[in-house]
Structure 1
Amino acid sequence: MRVFLFLGCLALFAFSSAGAIANSKPASLDAALANKALVVDFYQQVLFERNADAIDQFIGDTYIQHNPNLPDGKAALKALIKALPKPDKAVGKIVRAIAEGDLVVLHVNYYGWPGPQGGAVVDIFRVADHKIVEHWDVVQAVPAQSANDNTMF
């Protein structure tokens, strides 16, 4: 019985350690909450309201982009936002915002993009020195029909 409990504890430790994100650094709860507020403000002002002039307020001098359709650097982000039409109505809403250490994850419901029914987007940001310095995203169109009665949000 003791061997089983010991092995179970080792398995739990190994699983917990393997699941850690290498880029994430320990931070206080206050820092994580400040990071979350920064990213939510960025998303609202830059991505939803299409305010390219606000990018310098939120994005660091180094900006690593993991979306394969966009180059690194804030100049590329500025060009993208400037190329998008200014919305005359809401383009989406943040459904969930999660912060852990220097990472902030947003689960976003986009209206009318990337498909007619909209999209479910998960954006992950890394924050350093009060600036967003890295970004990953996963985009999925909301289908016209679902195999279940649950929403994507």
Structure 2
Amino acid sequence: MTDAERNKEIVRGCYEQFFVHRRLDAVADAIHEKFVQHSPDAPSGRDAYLAHLREAAFAGGTCDIKRIIADGDFVAVHHHMTLRDDDGPGLAVVDLWRLEDGKLVEHWDVEQPVPAASRVPNGMF
């Protein structure tokens, strides 16, 4: 298994533990002590980010991974996410993770609401 494949499996495992099993402890083990957040909607720093995830875990939400792409220490995840108390069509999200020592050390994301109607027939996913 290459480093890129291993990194993909680490990231995929985090999504499964968080969104399917709601196991924040398993995700916490994968977050590096030097964690840096670049998303304007989430806090930076390991402890602050874990507190943010804890709040989100209790609120519910779903994640349907469409594709995962890895290049060395970077892993991109394209997924369809619904949020707490969200009855709408959710968000199209691309998360970009950088791993160091087999742990998530840096995160960026781009989020876009899924529209009720689209001008193109192929959709966002």
TM-score, normalization: structure 1?
A: 0.72
Runs of 4+ in 1 over 3 A off after TM superposition: 47-50, 111-115
Shift in Å, 1:47: 4.4
Bigger helix share: 1
Residue aligning to 1:9: none
Q: Percent identity, please.
A: 38
3-state SS of the aligned residue for 1:147? coil
Structure 1's 130 and 74: CA in aligned 2 closer, same or farther, altered over 3 A? Answer: same
Match for 1:108 among 65, 74, 79?
A: 79
Larger mean Cα displacement after TM superposition, 72-81 or 91-100? 72-81
Residue identity opposite 1:125 in structure 2: W
Mark the runs of 5 or more structure 2 residues left unpaired by the alignment: none
Shift in Å, 1:104: 0.2
Match for 1:65 among 37, 42, 60?
A: 37
Mark the runs of 5 or more structure 1 residues left unpaired by the alignment: 1-28
Structure 1's 47 and 77: CA in aligned 2 closer, same or farther, altered over 3 A? Answer: farther
TM-score, normalization: structure 2?
A: 0.87
**Count of equivalent residues:** 123
Q: CA RMSD in A?
A: 2.0
Shift in Å, 1:64: 0.7
Contact 1:104 1:125 in 2 (8 A): yes
Residue aligning to 1:130: 102
Residue aligning to 2:62: 91
Pair member with larger Rg: 1
* Distance in structure 2 (CA, Å) of the matches to 1:115 and 1:74: 30
Bigger strand share: 2
Shift in Å, 1:112: 5.5
